[in-house]
């Protein structure tokens, strides 16, 4: 991986130490430092929390890590999430003093992940930066699939919807009534309209909702809710209920089948993950993914971002190890859960009364 630093005109002992320490960790892992940030895969960008400015990447494939320092907030996510969005970072490393005065690094992700990544406990700085590196590398190297290609090739008999699409719409209304997310963090209010628009454009996260739903149509196709749509109003085939045909490696996009003349919304960013799971597990009929938690479930080890091939593989691997992948619940670390079942009513009945609105952050 080729990486660069963009120092802006921000300087402090913290920023200097971060740059030296991160560069050493990157070098240990064989990554090449270059000067031109526009030619880099990964950019470390210094950000002032009071007045965050974005690094304008020319290629969307550039992964930007905002690096900021400040005081210890009462609520780290609430204080730093707007900084992540305003600086258009894919990940924010926020440094602040720990209770003993030694530095602590928090990570903040667009999916509302917020966790302590490293805490300096000894004079050995390398362990601290190694811990920071361990949290950055999987995010920076993961393959995001957010583009859609729409083919107007849907069979006419599907355009009016099926039993499955009607159940999907009904399940979306039920989840809406559970008021899971964004109850703990009202993102739209937290950010204001301009920043909220950035969030949707830059991160491909159309309305950070409480999650998404999908159900198999046949061996290789499945229905899925659109991104950023009010889940209480999901229902129209070809607009907010989309028939996903698969991943097209040449276009690096999800291929969606729509009726002629449709005006589709983008499918949920998690479509690539659901596609991998449906392909590898023909026994799985439906999935509900929510940004909430269920205790006692098997969990992915790394928190890959939503909408990446790596997240899909990690999920499919967990289902491999489950004795009953067709009817189970798995955890996605620092993110949420995905539940499978033969139908939406079956999944909802098993989730009801077990769901915790707060995802534990580790
Ligand atoms: Zn998610």
132 and 215 together in one domain? no
Half-sphere exposure of 159 (CA within 13 A, CB side): 13
DSSP strand pairing (286-290 vs 253-257): unpaired
Q: Which of 98, 121, 140 is the last residue of a domain?
A: 140
75 and 155 together in one domain? no
Q: How confident is the model at residue 231 (pLDDT cuts 50, 70, 90)?
A: low
Q: Which residue has the higher pLDDT, 230 or 338?
A: 338
168 and 291 together in one domain? yes
Residue 102 is assigned to a structural domain of this protein:
yes
pLDDT tens-place string over residues 20-39: 999 999 999 999 999 999 99
What distance in angstroms lies between residue 336's CA and the mean position of ligand 1's atoms?
Answer: 6
278 and 205 together in one domain? yes
Q: Which of 140, 170, 201 is the last residue of a domain?
A: 140
Which residues, chain by chain, have CB under 5 Å from ion ligand 1?
306
45 and 106 together in one domain? yes
What distance in angstroms lies between residue 31's CA and the mean position of ligand 1's atoms?
Answer: 29
Selection from 288, 41, 56, 280 nearest residue 174 by Cα: 288
Residue 308 is assigned to a structural domain of this protein:
yes
Is pTM beyond 0.95? Reply is no
SS3 state of residue 197: helix
162 and 289 together in one domain? yes
Residue 79 region, left (φ>0) first, then alpha (ψ -120 to 50), else beta?
alpha
Q: Which of 85, 117, 140 is the last residue of a domain?
A: 140
C-alpha–C-alpha distance, residues 110 and 326, integer Å: 30
CATH code for the domain of 106:
3.40.50.10300
What distance in angstroms lies between residue 332's CA and the mean position of ligand 1's atoms?
Answer: 8
Mean pLDDT calculated for residue range 162-182: 85
Residue 327 burial (CB < 10 Å; 0-12/13-18/19+)? middle
pLDDT tens-place string over residues 45-95: 999 999 999 898 887 778 899 999 999 999 898 899 889 988 989 899 999
What distance in angstroms lies between residue 268's CA and the mean position of ligand 1's atoms?
Answer: 9
What distance in angstroms lies between residue 112's CA and the mean position of ligand 1's atoms?
Answer: 10
- HEC-encoded secondary structure of 258-306: CCCCCCCCCECCCHHHHHHHHHHCCCCCEEEEECCECCCCCECCCCCCC
Helix or strand (DSSP H, E) at 338: strand 336-341
124 and 165 together in one domain? no
131 and 239 together in one domain? no
Residue 359 is assigned to a structural domain of this protein:
no
228 and 344 together in one domain? yes
152 and 13 together in one domain? no
What distance in angstroms lies between residue 307's CA and the mean position of ligand 1's atoms?
Answer: 8
Report how many domains make up the chain.
Answer: 2
Going edge to edge, which strands form the sheet with 147-151? 147-151, 253-257, 241-248, 222-225, 211-216, 286-290, 336-341, 329-332
Confidence (pLDDT) at 204: 58
Q: Tell me which DSSP letter residue 74 carries.
A: S
CATH code for the domain of 289:
3.40.225.10
**Structure token digits, residue 339:** 């539940």
Residue in the block written with tokens 């229905």: 223
Residue 101 is assigned to a structural domain of this protein:
yes
Residue 357 is assigned to a structural domain of this protein:
no
What distance in angstroms lies between residue 330's CA and the mean position of ligand 1's atoms?
Answer: 13
pLDDT tens-place string over residues 84-138: 988 989 899 999 988 888 889 999 988 778 888 888 876 567 889 999 999 899 8
131 and 151 together in one domain? no
Residue 67 is assigned to a structural domain of this protein:
yes
Q: Taking all residues of the chain, what is their mean pLDDT, rounded to a whole number?
A: 89
C-alpha–C-alpha distance, residues 85 and 80, integer Å: 9
Domain span at 21: 2-140
> Which residues lie across from 132 on neighbouring strands?
none
C-alpha–C-alpha distance, residues 326 and 342, integer Å: 7
Q: How far is CA 207 from the centre of its chain?
A: 12
Mean pLDDT calculated for residue range 146-152: 94
Residue 334 is assigned to a structural domain of this protein:
yes
166 and 312 together in one domain? yes
Q: Tell me which DSSP letter residue 12 carries.
A: -
Residue 358 is assigned to a structural domain of this protein:
no
């Amino acid at each position: 991986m080729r990486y660069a630093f963009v120092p802006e005109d921000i300087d402090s002992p913290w920023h200097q130490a971060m740059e030296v320490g991160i560069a050493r960790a990157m070098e240990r892992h064989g990554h090449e430092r270059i000067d031109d940030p526009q030619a880099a895969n990964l950019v470390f960008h210094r950000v002032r929390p009071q007045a965050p400015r974005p690094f304008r990447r020319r290629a969307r494939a550039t992964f930007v890590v905002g690096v900021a320092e400040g005081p210890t907030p009462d609520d780290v996510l609430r204080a730093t999430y707007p900084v992540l969005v305003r600086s258009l970072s894919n990940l924010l490393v926020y440094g602040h003093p720990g209770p003993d005065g030694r530095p602590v690094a928090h990570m903040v992700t667009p999916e509302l992940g917020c966790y302590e990544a490293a805490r300096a406990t000894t004079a050995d700085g390398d362990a601290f930066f190694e811990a920071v590196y361990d949290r950055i590398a999987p995010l920076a190297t993961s393959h995001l699939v957010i583009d859609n290609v729409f083919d107007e090739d849907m069979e006419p008999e599907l355009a009016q919807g099926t039993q499955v699409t009607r159940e999907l719409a009904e399940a979306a209304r039920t989840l809406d009534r559970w008021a899971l997310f964004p109850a703990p963090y009202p993102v739209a209010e937290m950010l204001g309209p301009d920043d909220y628009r950035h969030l949707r454009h830059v991160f491909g996260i159309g309305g950070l909702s409480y999650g998404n739903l999908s159900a198999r149509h046949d061996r290789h196709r499945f229905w899925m809710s659109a991104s950023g749509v009010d889940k209480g109003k999901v229902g129209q085939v070809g607009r907010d209920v989309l028939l996903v045909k698969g991943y097209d490696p040449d276009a690096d996009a999800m291929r969606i089948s729509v009726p002629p003349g449709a005006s589709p919304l983008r499918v949920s960013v998690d479509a690539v993950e659901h596609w991998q799971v449906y392909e590898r597990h023909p026994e799985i009929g439906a999935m509900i993914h929510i940004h909430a938690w269920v205790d006692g479930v098997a969990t992915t080890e790394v928190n890959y971002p939503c909408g990446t091939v790596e997240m899909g593989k990690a999920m499919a691997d967990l289902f491999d190890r489950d004795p009953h992948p067709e009817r189970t619940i798995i955890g996605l670390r620092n993110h949420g859960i995905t539940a499978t079942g033969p139908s939406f009513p079956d999944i909802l009945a098993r989730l009801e009364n077990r769901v915790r609105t707060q995802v534990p952050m580790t």
